[in-house]
Amino acid sequence: MVKLLVCGAAGMLGRDLVRAAELSDHEVIATGRAKLDVTDADAVNRAVEAAGPEAIVNCAAYTNVDGAESEPEAAMRVNAHGARNVAAAAAAVDASVLYVSTDYVFDGSKEEPYLESDEPSPLGSYGASKLAGEIDTAAVNPRHHLVRTSWLFGTGGRNFVETMLALGSGQDEVTVVSDQVGSPTYTAHLAEGIVRVLASDSYGLHHVAAAGQCSWYDFAVAIFDRASISCSVVPTTTDAIGRPAPRPQYSVLATERDDAVHLPDWRAGLDDYLSER
C-alpha cells in the first residue's frame, strides 16, 4: 500500500485514478483545483508537507489544445511551472512524482509508432507546455515517472465520444477529420496502468496508451456502430476544419521498455466506456 496524493483529482483522468488506486488498496488523498492550485508554489508545498505522501500523481493540466494557441502563458503556467512545483514539493518530502503527458509532444511526421527514445518536437503551444512539464519534473525530482498517453476519453469529463453521441442523436450526418491518427485511450484503463507504473521503481519515460490505432473518422464510425446510432460520418481534412492549433497527423505511441505497461485495444476501451456511462 502506498500513500498517494493525486493533484487534479476532479478531472476526467483524476477521478478514474482515485478509484483505481483505492481499488488497489492505496491510501489516496485527492485534491482538485478548488482545493489546490498547482501554480501556487507555497500552497503546493504546504499541502504536500501536510499530506506526507510517498508518491504524487500530477493530473492537473491545462488541456484546451486550441485555447493554448491564444494563451500560451496560461498553458505553460499550469503544465510546466505547476508541474515543477508539484515535483519539487514531492522531492522535498522524499516522494516520487508521476507526470501525465501527451502524444502531442511529437510533430506527427513519423510513419510508425513513437517510442520513448524518439525526439519530441511539438507543433503547438499545448504540446510545448507539456514537454516543458516533462523537463521541469525530471529536473527537480530524480524519482519521476513521465507517462505519455493519447486521445483520452472517460466518463468524468467532456470527450469526443460524448460529442459524437450527442451530434449523432440529433442529426443524420457529421463531418470528422480522417487525416489524424492516434490511439483513443479510455481513462479507466489508463488509470489502472498508472497504478501499475507507480508500483515499480522504473523511473523515466513511459508510453502508456491504448493498443491499436485509428483516425478520428474511424473512431466516430465505431462509436455510432457500437451505440446503434444511424448517423453518416463524412471524412474531411484537418486543413478544411481550420482549427487554431496545429495537430500531429500521426501520434500513435508504442513502447520499447522491458517493463512496459500495456493497455487494452481502443475498441475494448470504447465498449467499456459505453457500458459504464
| pTM assigned to the model | 0.96
Is the dihedral angle over the CA atoms 201, 129, 109, 194 positive or is it negative?
positive
Q: Can you list the alpha helix ranges (DSSP code H) found in the chain?
A: 12-23, 41-51, 67-70, 72-76, 83-92, 125-140, 160-170, 187-198, 216-226, 238-241, 266-276
Domain covering 3-157+183-212+252-263 assigned CATH 3.40.50.720 in the classification = yes
Interval 207-220 mean pLDDT: 98
What is the torsion angle, in degrees rounded to the nearest 10, for the CA atoms of residue 201, residue 155, residue 276 and residue 227?
-120
| Residue 53 clears pLDDT 90, i.e. is over it | yes
Q: What is the pLDDT of residue 201?
A: 83
For residue range 160-180, list pLDDT tens digits in order.
Answer: 999 999 999 999 999 999 999
Helix, strand, coil % in the chain, rounded to nearest 5: 40, 20, 40
Residue 89 clears pLDDT 90, i.e. is over it? yes
Indicate the length of the chain as a whole number: 277
What the block records as the C-alpha cell of 228 is 446503434
Question: For a pLDDT cut of 90, what percent of the chain falls above it?
Answer: 95
Domain spans, the chain: 3-157+183-212+252-263
Region 191-202: mean pLDDT is 93
Averaged pLDDT for residues 194-204 = 93
32 pLDDT exceeds 90? Answer: no
Least Cα distance to 205 among 133, 122, 147 occurs for: 147
Cα 261 to Cα 234: distance, rounded to the nearest angstrom: 35
Nearest to 16 by CA among 273, 234, 205: 273
Amino acid at 33: R
The residues that bridge with 148 in the sheet, in sequence order, are 101, 207
Q: Band the pLDDT of 226: cuts 50, 70, 90.
A: very high
Closest CA to 275 of 184, 163, 161, 182: 161
Confidence of residue 123 (pLDDT cuts 50, 70, 90): very high
Grid cell for residue 186: 479510455
Q: Which residue(s) pair with 118 in the sheet?
A: none
pLDDT for 156 equals: 86
| Active site amino acids | 126
Q: Is the pLDDT of residue 181 over 90?
A: yes
Q: Nearest-CA neighbor of 240 among 180, 184, 181, 183?
A: 180
Residue 34: band (very low, low, confident or very high) from pLDDT cuts 50, 70, 90: confident
Which tens digits make up the pLDDT trace of 149-161? 999 999 988 999 9
